[in-house]
Amino acid sequence: MTSRILVLNGPNLNLLGTREPEIYGTATLADVESLCAERAATHDLLVTCQQSNHEGGLVDALHEAADAGDVVGCVLNAGAYTHTSVALLDAIKATGLPTVEVHISNPHAREAFRHHSYLSPVALAVIAGAGIAGYGFAVDVLAQHLSSTEPQPSR
């Protein structure tokens, strides 16, 4: 069975390409999903991509991924829920999925309320300000983590 990574995007990320292009660029969510699939393939991984504007939809996606049996990690751009959602924090902790937090822009260069993340304390890594390339980096980080934690053959 081929392992999968969940690429999970939160509120307003369905508007990539048209929403504040001076901050988020002109790439679309479809571009993000293609980038992730291509990068994952270089690591012999598959991706499942989901987007929800609803906090519960994101929590459900994490639960379903953990229950699927073949999902080995998550690339998560929670959007504004990064700064507000204890529910997502708890879902990441409860599922145990290694999760890389991604931000297209640099939240620390923006409004003060964006400087805090509820998710960072449980994230394997945080990638911010690299544009959509950050998603590719996140897939690489997960793949490296997975290869370093795979059981080694006994001698």
Check residue 82 and report its DSSP letter. Answer: G
Catalytic status, residue 118: no
* Catalytic choice (24, 81, 118, 135): 24
* Catalytic choice (43, 81, 103, 116): 103
CB 109 within 8 A of CB 115: no
Catalytic status, residue 24: yes
CB 98 within 8 A of CB 146: yes
How would DSSP label each residue in 97-142? --EEEEESS-GGGS-GGGG--SSGGG-SEEEESSTTHHHHHHHHHH
Task: Determine if residue 44 is left, alpha or beta; phi over 0 gives left, psi from -120 to 50 gives alpha, anything else beta.
Answer: left
CB burial of residue 130 (10 Å; 0-12, 13-18, 19+)? middle
Residues identified as active-site: 24, 103
